[in-house]
Amino acid sequence: MYEKIIVAIDTVQMDKGERILRRAMRMVAPGGALILVNAVEDVPAYIAVSEPIDLAVAARKAADETLTALCERLGVNAHVEIRQGAAAREILASAEQNQADLILIASHVPDVSNYFIGATADRIVRHARCSVLIDR
């Protein structure tokens, strides 16, 4: 059992997100913490200038609402962190800041360049200072 689990969820793939959150719920120690992390990618400057609304703020709000609703639906008490930036970097930073002992992440359907586990999961595996579980 783990004391602090980072559950990295891509809100575009909520079916996988729900599956890994359910797995994390079984793996966390009594009294342990689940921390749901979503990273909102930076908006390219050429888009940010042309759009009248702040896309990043809207994306963070939508992600927070989606993950909070998932926690409520599953009846899980988890902390939701919405971070801004590259997914791998932000997930790793959250794991360090929260002193997590496990990062749980779903792998996407890979392409030729990252056939086995995907680019984000690959970066996390190579750079994490804690255990990493990749769910297929």
Reading across the β-sheet that carries 28-40, which strands appear in turn?
A: 79-84, 28-40, 2-8, 102-106, 131-135
CATH superfamily, region 9-135: HUPs (3.40.50.620)
Alpha-carbon gap, residue 55 to 113, rounded angstroms: 29
Top-confidence residue, 49 or 130: 130
pLDDT in tens, 85-106: 999 999 999 999 999 999 999 9
Q: Would you state the pLDDT for residue 116?
A: 47
> Structure pTM?
0.87
Which residues make Cβ contacts (< 8 Å) with residue 29, sequence separation at least 6?
1, 2, 3
Ordered by start, the domain boundaries in the chain are 9-135
Q: Would you state the pLDDT for residue 31?
A: 96
Q: Would you state the pLDDT for residue 125?
A: 94
Top-confidence residue, 53 or 120: 120
Which residues make Cβ contacts (< 8 Å) with residue 56, sequence separation at least 6?
40, 42, 43, 48, 84
pLDDT in tens, 35-60: 999 999 876 666 555 555 577 788 89
Looking up tokens 């579980």 gives 133
Alpha-carbon gap, residue 57 to 15, rounded angstroms: 24
| Average model confidence (pLDDT) across the chain | 89
Three-state secondary structure readout of 6-56: EEECCHHHHHHHHHHHHHHHHHEEEEEEEEEEEEECCCCHHHHHHCCCCHH
Amino acid symbol at 11: T
Top-confidence residue, 114 or 133: 133
Q: Would you state the pLDDT for residue 43?
A: 65
